[in-house]
């Protein structure tokens, strides 16, 4: 699809910011997202092409304003909800429950 | 989408959402959190650019290996044991006096994990992905690398399942170095193509 | 649907999951051929970026037979076909605003190409 992900040649995106000696994961949740890809892939919930296409469906402004692992999370949510494995409602409920519980 | 850099602050929304997702998948018996722990540990400790640096150092010191590497990157890299996820099908491209190579994935962030580890944020960022293909000389200037105009620049867009590794030029003044010492000189960025390997200061 | 466990992790990571397909499919092109990327604008998944569509380049390598990504979103690897490293000159892609002495190499499937 002609989505925002198809960035080759685009102008106006600013300088390339670099961090010296950066870790693989800047937050712990990123490392869990990384591992969840393998776990979901091994289970056969999606292949890499489906995973990429799910990210391509992100709203352009959101895509540009979120980080790489947030893109992965978006893809998991979309694909798992589509397959009824984890619905959006279940996820919202569990997130609210964990937040309220001060976990 | 908050990024929580203050570790005394409460978890961000994103952190909680990920925790919720992992918890649900675990409760449903679909995820084993210990497997995620071991994956993260494996990548953080064993999978990094030192692997690619060893490939480069071997190519610099063994002309037959270098020839095999350029002909069939997958097989030659496998000889050194650096195969695997996101490196199943490898192509190695050589920098010379006449040609400089640079690698990007404009459509997402494809990168050769087994030889270079996980990609840095800048490689996955929109400005790099956009400009590497249309203004590679400008991008290299930002990285502090100036190429003469008569040097050809080749950019490789990793849009399919081949993964690309740049074989940097071996600098002068390294003739008596061991393979290990040579590997120490090879930076991750030199194998992406946004840096060169300089002659070591004596 | 195997659960990913700690025991499986090392083998999965070192083995990977290549998209090569063991299919005896003839290539449409050979090294040296001039090819043109087709002009498609699907709303479905494609790995043919906009900046390449309609442009003319040269086949420099045949990588062999791989699953076609555009249809792999069905969940099944299918449409095995050759994929080539195709070289495009900077000016072909970007016109007068291209960098001097620059070229772009991208991996294009048989389905993306017509003879030029």
pLDDT tens digits along B87-114: 999 999 999 999 999 999 999 999 999 9
Distance CA B184, CA C48 (A): 38
Evaluate whether residue B181 is within a structural domain. Answer: yes
CB-CB: which of B19, B21, B121 is closest to A19? B121
Distance CA A42, CA B37 (A): 16
Record: contact B21-A77, CB cut-off 8 A: yes
Kindly state whether residues B79 and B154 are assigned to the same domain. yes
Record: contact A95-B16, CB cut-off 8 A: yes
Tell whether the model's pLDDT for residue B1 goes beyond 60.
no
Evaluate whether residue C7 is within a structural domain. Answer: no
Distance CA B117, CA A11 (A): 29
Known catalytic residues of B? 105, 108-110
Domain count, chain C: 1
Binning pLDDT at 50, 70 and 90, where does residue B7 land? low
Q: Does A36 touch chain B (CB under 8 A)?
A: yes
Position A102 scores a pLDDT of 62
Kindly state whether residues B168 and B101 are assigned to the same domain. yes
Which portions of chain C are predicted below pLDDT 50? none
The DSSP 8-state label assigned to residue C17 in this structure reads -
Contact residues, B window 116-135, toward A, CB-based 8 Å cutoff = 117-118, 120-122, 124-131, 133-134
- Chains near C with 3+ CB pairs less than 8 A apart are A, B
Evaluate whether residue C5 is within a structural domain. Answer: no
Tell whether the model's pLDDT for residue B4 goes beyond 60.
no
Instruction: Report in angstroms the alpha-carbon separations of B192 from A4, B153, C30.
Output: 24, 13, 28
CATH code assigned at B133:
3.90.330.10
Evaluate whether residue C6 is within a structural domain. Answer: no
Identify whether the C-beta of residue C115 lies closer than 8 Å to the C-beta of residue C34. Answer: yes
Evaluate whether residue B4 is within a structural domain. Answer: no
Evaluate whether residue B75 is within a structural domain. Answer: yes
Q: Does B139 touch chain A (CB under 8 A)?
A: yes
Instruction: Report in angstroms the alpha-carbon separations of A54 from A68, A74, B2, C52.
Output: 13, 8, 22, 22
Smallest Cα distance from A56 to chain C, Å: 8
Q: State the residue range of the domain holding C81.
A: 18-115
Record: contact B107-A7, CB cut-off 8 A: yes
Q: Which residue of A2, A33, A39 is the best one to mutate when testing the B interface, meaning the one whose CB has the most B CBs within 10 A? A: A39
Identify whether the C-beta of residue C111 lies closer than 8 Å to the C-beta of residue C88. Answer: no
- The string of DSSP letters for C66-112 reads E--HHHHTTSS----EEEEEEEEEHHHHHGGGSPTTEEEEEEEEGGG
Smallest Cα distance from A60 to chain C, Å: 15
Alpha helices in A1-103 (DSSP H): 28-42, 48-56, 60-65, 68-82, 88-100
CATH code assigned at C100:
2.30.30.50
Environment class of residue A80 by beta-carbon count within 10 Å: exposed (0-12), middle (13-18) or buried (19+)?
buried
Q: Which residues of chain C lie closer than 8 angstroms to B34, CB-CB? A: 5-6
Q: State the residue range of the domain holding B80.
A: 47-192
Distance CA A15, CA B157 (A): 20
ipTM: 0.98
Kindly state whether residues B60 and B40 are assigned to the same domain. no
Kindly state whether residues B106 and B168 are assigned to the same domain. yes
Evaluate whether residue B7 is within a structural domain. Answer: no
Tell whether the model's pLDDT for residue B192 goes beyond 60.
yes
Sheet with C102-109: list strands edge to edge: B99-104, B152-157, C102-109, C81-89, C56-66, C34-37, C113-115
Tokens at A75, concatenated:
């893809």
- Chain mean pLDDT for chain B: 95
User: pLDDT tens per residue, chain A (103 residues)?
Assistant: 999 999 999 999 999 999 999 999 999 999 999 999 999 999 999 999 999 999 999 999 999 999 999 999 999 999 999 999 999 999 999 999 999 986 5
Position B176 scores a pLDDT of 94
pLDDT digits (tens, 9 = 90+) for B114-153: 999 999 999 999 999 999 999 999 999 999 999 998 999 9
Q: What is the length of chain A? A: 103
Evaluate whether residue C99 is within a structural domain. Answer: yes
Q: Does A85 touch chain B (CB under 8 A)?
A: yes
Q: Does A87 touch chain B (CB under 8 A)?
A: no
Evaluate whether residue B19 is within a structural domain. Answer: yes
Evaluate whether residue C31 is within a structural domain. Answer: yes
A28-100: CATH topology is Cyclin A; domain 1 (1.10.472)
Helix (H/G/I), strand (E/B), else coil: C45: coil
């Amino acid at each position: 699809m002609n989505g925002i992900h198809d960035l080759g040649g685009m102008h106006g995106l600013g300088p390339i910011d670099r961090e010296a000696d950066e870790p693989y994961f800047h937050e712990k949740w990123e490392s869990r997202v990384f591992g969840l890809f393998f776990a979901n892939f091994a289970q056969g919930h999606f292949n890499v092409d489906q995973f990429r296409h799910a990210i391509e469906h992100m709203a352009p402004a959101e895509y540009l304003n979120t980080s790489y692992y947030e893109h992965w999370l978006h893809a998991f949510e979309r694909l798992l909800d589509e397959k009824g494995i984890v619905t959006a409602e279940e996820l919202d409920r569990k997130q609210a429950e964990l937040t309220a519980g001060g976990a | 989408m908050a990024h929580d850099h203050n570790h005394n602050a409460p978890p961000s929304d994103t952190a909680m959402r990920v925790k919720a997702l992992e918890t649900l998948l675990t409760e449903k018996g679909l995820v084993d959190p210990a497997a995620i722990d071991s994956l993260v540990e494996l990548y953080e400790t064993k999978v990094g650019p030192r692997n690619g640096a060893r490939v480069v150092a071997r190519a610099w010191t063994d002309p037959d290996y270098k020839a095999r590497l350029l002909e069939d990157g997958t097989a030659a890299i496998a000889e050194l044991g650096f195969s695997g996820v996101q490196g199943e099908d490898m192509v190695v491209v050589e920098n010379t006096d006449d040609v400089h190579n640079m690698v990007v994935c404009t459509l997402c962030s494809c990168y050769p994990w087994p030889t270079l580890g996980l990609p840095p944020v800048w490689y996955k960022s929109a400005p790099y992905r956009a400009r590497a293909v249309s203004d590679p000389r400008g991008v290299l200037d930002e990285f502090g690398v100036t190429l003469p105009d008569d040097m050809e620049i080749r950019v490789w867009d990793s849009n399919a399942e081949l993964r690309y590794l740049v074989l940097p030029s071996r600098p002068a003044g390294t003739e008596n170095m061991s393979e290990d010492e040579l590997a120490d000189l090879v930076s991750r960025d030199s194998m992406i193509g946004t840096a060169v390997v300089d002659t070591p200061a004596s | 649907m195997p659960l990913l466990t700690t025991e499986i992790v090392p083998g999965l990571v070192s083995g990977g999951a290549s998209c090569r397909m063991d299919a005896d499919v003839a290539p449409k092109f050979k090294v040296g051929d001039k090819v043109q990327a087709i002009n498609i604008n699907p709303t479905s998944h494609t790995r043919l970026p906009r900046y390449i569509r309609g442009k003319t380049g040269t086949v420099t390598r045949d990588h062999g037979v791989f699953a076609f990504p555009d249809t792999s979103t069905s969940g099944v690897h299918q449409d095995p076909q050759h994929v080539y490293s195709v070289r495009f000159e900077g000016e072909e892609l970007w016109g007068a605003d291209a960098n001097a002495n620059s070229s772009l190499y991208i991996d294009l499937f048989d389905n993306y190409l017509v003879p030029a």
